[in-house]
Homo-oligomer: A and B are copies of this chain.
Amino acid sequence: MPKQPVVTPRAQDFPRWYQDVIAKAELADNGPVRGTMVIRPYGWAIWERMQAAMDARIKAAGAENCYLPLFIPESYLSREAEHVEGFSPELAVVTHAGGKDLEEPVVVRPTSETVFGEFMAKWVTSHRDLPLLLNQWANVVRWEMRPRVFLRTSEFLWQEGHTAHATEADASAYARRILHEVYADFMRTELAMPVLAGRKTKRERFAGATNTMTLEAMMGDGKALQMGTSHELGQNFARAFDIGFTDVDQQRQLAWTTSWGTSTRMVGGLIMCHGDDAGLRIPPRLAATQALVTIVKSAPEVDSTAAQLVSELAAAGVRVRLDDRVDTPYGRRAVDAELKGIPVRVEVGPRDLADGQVTLVRRVPGSKEPVRVGEVAQQVVSALAADHQALYDEALQRRDAATVDAGSVDEAVDAAQTGWARLPWKLLGDEGEARIAGQGITVRCLVVPDADVEGGYRVPDTDDVAVEPELTAIVARAY
């Protein structure tokens, strides 16, 4: 009888594989209200560590955290015309509160953009107040017709940064700093995910922005996922909310603003980028539990060795946990650890121990080898470093192998069935983009070949082929 797979194989049904992993690794459940999610402790631990690592980078970039209210007067949203158009169909509205109908209904924030606009206008008066660099961690609501846990939920958690600057150049530089030094660095260094930085086309731009930059990652099925965006808003929001300042010459000026965000969607991206047919694979730097010391079968020496290894690993800076649930069959515990993607297991059993050994099981290479008890800490530390790199390399190779240089729109559309295509933007343009959108294929971003940049492409400052003849569209299906 063939062994029953623990989760649906990816090749058979990728969306079902995704749902299976989320359920069986105990990451999340669907919430009682359609489109909402319950993030379970194991899933939350992933988000919590993402938050901490991202927050440290945001602070290092000089931004300060604050918190704006959940409820927004409807009138705020309509001040920036494109902004309200972008969000109208997704809004949730409170019409009844405190036991009676509200005179003016309030909107549950789809983003705090407009409230930041309003308050930045209050807080900024002089050029001395600039740049004003703010960030918020919060929940936001955008009613979803086709929800999918972590990827598209009616409520999601995110950080949204909002900054005001005295000059366009300063705003522009800061939006790029967030894109590269904060977001891309976090994704590569902590999530072990290769991300491509590019510029959104007009069609895909954030409502109200003059420029949206994005980081795109390839998932296990060849589709793209937008992992984060950084927007230049020009003076649009500053004008709508009157964010002004007196410059050094005592002249009144409008500020230049930016906004940027990443969300719990990254958890979905992590799953779909690194997961395999045995379940999750958590990048070692992100894992709440990096090493699980497993008592295969209890015995006095087994128990004491396991305890000793736990303290040695903790002393070596490894986040370690003991699995002594010997009343649960060993096989089930092993499957559970695989499902949850714990990077390393140290299995301690009587037979190995008689030879002075334990077994080191590594999730990423899928290896299983004996290690002398005295060498465990050192071996685990080097395995964690190697496996972070291995995950990154594997994802990068998959992306490169599934990316095609297309010479025509048809070729690009073909390639987008299984991966990404690079297509000269001049062969596509706004019209071509609208046409392929009908087939569910979008321009993920525009890039420009540049041998001096790591990865070989840079983020263009324009979408005009007259200025940048080598503008290249990354074309794909996307989540």
Contacts and interface: CB of A to CB of B under 8 A. Distances in A.
Interface of A: 29, 31-33, 36-41, 43-45, 47-48, 64-73, 76, 88-99, 105-106, 108, 115, 118-119, 122, 128, 134, 138-139, 141, 143-145, 154-155, 157, 327
Nearest to A327: B128
Contacts of A93: 94-97
A267 to B, nearest CB: 11
Contact of A38 (B43, B69, B155): B69
A59 B119 CA distance: 36
B33 A72 contact: yes
Nearest to A138: B139
A43 B134 CA distance: 13
B65 A41 contact: yes
9 contacts: A33-B71, A36-B69, A37-B69, A38-B69, A39-B68, A69-B155, A70-B70, A93-B95, A98-B143
A38 B115 contact: yes
Contacts of A39: 66-68
A92 B97 contact: yes
How many chain copies does the complex carry?
Answer: 2
Contacts of A118: 32
Contacts of A65: 41, 44-45, 48
A86 B108 CA distance: 24
A96 B98 contact: no
Contacts of A134: 41
A70 B155 contact: yes
Contacts of A128: 327
Which of A37, A66, A99, A118 is the most central at the interface, judged by chain B CB atoms within 10 Å of its CB?
A66
A106 B31 CA distance: 12
Given A95-B96, A98-B89, A119-B29, A41 B69 contact: no
B95 A99 contact: no
A99 B94 contact: no
A44 B72 CA distance: 20
Contacts of A96: 92-93, 95, 105
Contact of A70 (B89, B90, B139): B139
Most B C-beta atoms less than 10 A away, residue of A99, A157, A327: A99
Q: Which of A36, A92, A115, A138 has the most CB of B within 10 A?
A: A92
Nearest to A95: B95
Contacts of A154: 71, 97
Contacts of A145: 98
Contacts of A36: 69-71
Given A93-B96, A95-B96, A108-B94, A157 B29 contact: no
Given A32-B118, A118-B32, A66 B41 contact: yes
B69 A143 contact: no
A126 to B, nearest CB: 11
A448 to B, nearest CB: 37
A132 to B, nearest CB: 10
**A-B pairs, 5 with minimum CB distance:** A98-B143, A36-B69, A41-B64, A31-B69, A92-B97
B31 A71 contact: yes
Contacts of A97: 91-93, 143, 154
A72 B41 contact: no
A32 B76 contact: yes
Contacts of A327: 128
A327 B105 CA distance: 46
A73 B157 contact: no
Contacts of A90: 98
A90 B115 CA distance: 24
A124 B2 CA distance: 32
Contacts of A44: 64-67
Contacts of A72: 32-33
A89 B122 CA distance: 34
A99 B43 CA distance: 31
Contacts of A91: 97-99
A64 B119 CA distance: 35
Contact of A106 (B33, B38, B64): B33
